[in-house]
Amino acid sequence: MNRTLAAVVTFNPDLDRLRQNLTAIAGQVEAVLVFDNGSGNAEAVELLGREFANLIVHRSPDNVGIAEALNQVAAQARDHGFCWLLTLDQDSVAAEGMVRELLDVADASTAMVTPYIVDRNKMTVPEYHRLCLPRVEYYTQAARRGAITSGCLTSLRVLFEVGCFDAGFFIDYVDYDLNQRVLLAGHRIARANHTFLLHEVGRAERTWLRVPRKGLDGRWRLERFYSFGHSAFRCYFKARNRVLFTRKYGRRIGVTHEGIWQIPQQIALTLLFETDRRPKLAAFVRGIRDGVRMPIAPREPHERPDRAR
């Protein structure tokens, strides 16, 4: 069975971009659930949702974070008999036929499938179409070139098998934490390269720097570095959650340029290429401190909670 629910978590969204998102995805799935995370324009989001026959808007009075929002959506999807959950950021726009291609790639051992991500700040759609890529590639690490939340098609059975999203992460590394548990449980995560998702990661800007990066094909390449463009608020979670990730999985995965091993690089590149350096540096420091102090309750990969957290 391939019944699919698309989940879009919103927080003060740009309504024009959100309309593009919903228009692109509503016809590709059985239903869409928009979880609004306490937006100032929540009424406008709800009004927009009425334009689509298979869409429901759930309004949260507070911002509960991306992880908890998706857990609540996943619980509803499971209770209504859906098999797959497609998660989308509010500003992402799916290509025509994206969901069909993702489902075609999914199989008994592949619990998660993502499209190729076309970051608007780094690539154009014509440039994507000129790429020579195999139809399918598989992720081998959770966070280094890992599968991001937006555009990811996830088996609800496996999602509950591994314990759903960790609500303690709130934002940032939420997806990579889930990836790690899926991989540890013996499932595969695939990228369907013959379809794409228009997306933006922060407010990335092109820089002069080129850095070595390893692709899913195992080859190293020199790639242009784009600044992150994240706020100090986001920098806090980038640091805190990388510490939490390492505390949860460090003994199992070793030194893999994931988790805490990324923090010095994140700080250096932020200070080199971005504005508001002082508050961002302070946020990184607070995040490291709180990541060390914060209690965690590690889950075994096959723990099956009664309800989503």
d(CA 167, CA 287): 16
pLDDT band at 300 (very low <50, low <70, confident <90, very high): very low
d(CA 260, CA 194): 33
- What pLDDT does residue 218 have? 82
* Mean per-residue pLDDT, 167-179: 93
- Kindly provide the b/e burial profile for residues 227-244, where b requires at least 16 CB atoms within 10 angstroms of the residue's own CB: bbbbebebbbbbbbbbbb
Mean pLDDT of the chain: 92
pTM of the model: 0.91
d(CA 151, CA 94): 7
Q: What is the pLDDT of residues 62-115, one digit of tens each?
A: 999 999 999 999 999 999 999 999 999 999 999 999 999 999 999 889 999 999
Cα dihedral across residues 1, 71, 33, 93: positive or negative: negative
Domain residue ranges in the chain: 4-199, 206-293
Q: Is residue 201 predicted with pLDDT exceeding 70?
A: yes
- What pLDDT does residue 144 have? 85
Q: Is residue 298 predicted with pLDDT exceeding 60?
A: no
Residue 302 or residue 118, greater confidence: 118
Instruction: Look at 30-34, 46-50, 107-111, 303-307 and tell me which has the smallest mean pLDDT.
Output: 303-307
pLDDT band at 307 (very low <50, low <70, confident <90, very high): very low
Residue 202 or residue 268, greater confidence: 268
The CATH architecture assigned to 4-199 reads Alpha-Beta Complex (3.90)
Q: How much of the chain, in percent, has pLDDT values that exceed 70?
A: 95
Residue 215, SS3 per DSSP? coil
Residue 211, SS3 per DSSP? strand
Residue 297 or residue 218, greater confidence: 218
- What pLDDT does residue 305 have? 38
Q: What is the pLDDT of residues 112-167, one digit of tens each?
A: 999 999 999 899 999 999 999 999 999 999 998 899 999 999 999 999 999 999 99
- What pLDDT does residue 85 have? 98
d(CA 302, CA 55): 32
- What pLDDT does residue 297 have? 67
Q: Is residue 230 predicted with pLDDT exceeding 70?
A: yes
d(CA 86, CA 92): 12
